[in-house]
Structure 1
């Protein structure tokens, strides 16, 4: 069975059908892209997969478990984590605390220990602090550990959001336009980073992105969405030459 299997998924908002009969299969270890013009429904799909929206029809199977309709925290606990198109850090918390928040779902101490500050609480917090610093070092953010997240440069905020998602120990990482707002050099570095974390953490990655150089350079397989419907699926080379894809992008060259 695929790690993620989406069967006939649809979502309507009133009379508007944002996603129609979506079918996606993602195998463990794959790096898959989801692309499409603005308004095609890409972020709606991420919101469906992660429990932000409840499907109108269809089912979402993650490791053969139907996760349709689960709350976001339940989906995260099962092993699916995401970033957002618009960065959603805790701006008034420092960098290390942003990462530690994601570790807390796996905390080894009880609420009672936290309230009364038992030794298990301090031990657990120390372990999360150490793990958080390890993640920050991987992302080159260790020098920012005590800085407020809102004060980081834009590119570093993007990296921090990915680090926080990884702190949840996901099996499937969903990246929603991680290169948005980045300059070409930052995008190039992000491409290398995505490859690196996929190998280091043995992750499966589903990526939404408008930057075609990133998508074509890093993804092994791509789904193309238009008006809430999959119109093409294949390798980057197949997608670049697909007439339906070219038409959906208003005749612009893809890649």
Structure 2
């Protein structure tokens, strides 16, 4: 019998209010090391709010968040990134006027071993560190099939390749958990299929925990080990893809939204 993987990410009874609006209410969840977990729900369910709490954009109104046993409440986004959480966004956020390779190198520089002093005075440690970063950047560009575009401006890449670059940049920070916010948004079926293969490969080869927000149910059901479902700021279901697919409460939440949208059409 295999030993259960240690818990990496814990969300304990977290709530978030904005004025009088309850965006999240008493939500709890966990992720084990090496697990790929989906976070789904109708529009306005609170998924992106939860991502923003996990990455320090917002602070919980109540409850606690821990990553690898360390409390994240009150930390700034860059501090949470240094703790091991990296994120992509629904709306791609690359440095569009920088080259592909420089986008990757910027991420590596956040965790560079050489100091600002060694860089300022061009000490041997600086050149050693830059050589290491260049090597790692080239390796990750090869992995993501972007090596032939390394000197191209990131903003000139196709939509699918920009998504690929954003994920590569997140991985370059050396995370323990990777948070993907609707990575298939705007992709055509072929790009989505390639993304599905890439996410599986990242999980297996980087031994990462991955938390995925996604509206493409085919993608979610095919890559996730477990799925959490939010509706109106509350957790309404949790389980394997097979359990979630047949949950009456989940079906009702989605069908209810469809009915509301039709009523306003």
Per the normalisation by structure 1, the TM-score is 0.97
The equivalent of 1:123 in structure 2 is 128
The one of 115, 118, 142 aligned to 1:113: 118
Aligned residues: 252
Q: 2 CA distance for matches of 1:184 and 1:47? A: 28
Q: Displacement, 1:116? A: 2.1
Secondary structure in 2 matching 1:55: coil
The equivalent of 1:52 in structure 2 is 57
The equivalent of 1:82 in structure 2 is 87
Q: 1 CA distance for matches of 2:17 and 2:38? A: 23
- Provide the alpha-carbon RMSD of the alignment: 1.0
Q: Displacement, 1:123? A: 1.7
When structure 1 is superposed on structure 2, of 113-122 and 64-73 the one drifting more is 113-122
The equivalent of 1:11 in structure 2 is 16
Question: Structure 1, residues 25-64: CA drift from partner, whole Å, max 9, x if none?
Answer: 1111111000001111101100000111111100001111
The equivalent of 1:165 in structure 2 is 170
The equivalent of 1:29 in structure 2 is 34
The equivalent of 1:220 in structure 2 is 225
Task: Confirm whether residue 211 of structure 1 aligns to residue 216 of structure 2.
Answer: yes
Task: Confirm whether residue 183 of structure 1 aligns to residue 181 of structure 2.
Answer: no
Q: 1 CA distance for matches of 2:9 and 2:211? A: 10
Task: Confirm whether residue 174 of structure 1 aligns to residue 179 of structure 2.
Answer: yes
Task: Confirm whether residue 71 of structure 1 aligns to residue 80 of structure 2.
Answer: no
Question: Structure 1, residues 88-127: CA drift from partner, whole Å, max 9, x if none?
Answer: 0011110111011111122121111212222221221121
The equivalent of 2:206 in structure 1 is 201
Question: Structure 1, residues 125-182: CA drift from partner, whole Å, max 9, x if none?
Answer: 1210110110011010001111110000000000000000000111101000000000
Structure 2: where are the runs of 5+ without partners? 1-5, 259-265
Q: 2 CA distance for matches of 1:234 and 1:52? A: 28
The equivalent of 2:3 in structure 1 is none
Q: 2 CA distance for matches of 1:216 and 1:67? A: 29
Question: Structure 1, residues 199-250: CA drift from partner, whole Å, max 9, x if none?
Answer: 1111011000000000001001000000111000111111111011011101
Structure 1: where are the runs of 5+ without partners? none
Q: 2 CA distance for matches of 1:76 and 1:225? A: 25
The equivalent of 1:140 in structure 2 is 145
Q: 2 CA distance for matches of 1:22 and 1:104? A: 35
Q: Give runs of ≥4 in structure 1 deviating > 3 Å.
A: none
Secondary structure in 2 matching 1:69: coil
Secondary structure in 2 matching 1:250: helix
Task: Confirm whether residue 250 of structure 1 aligns to residue 258 of structure 2.
Answer: no
Q: 2 CA distance for matches of 1:219 and 1:184? A: 19
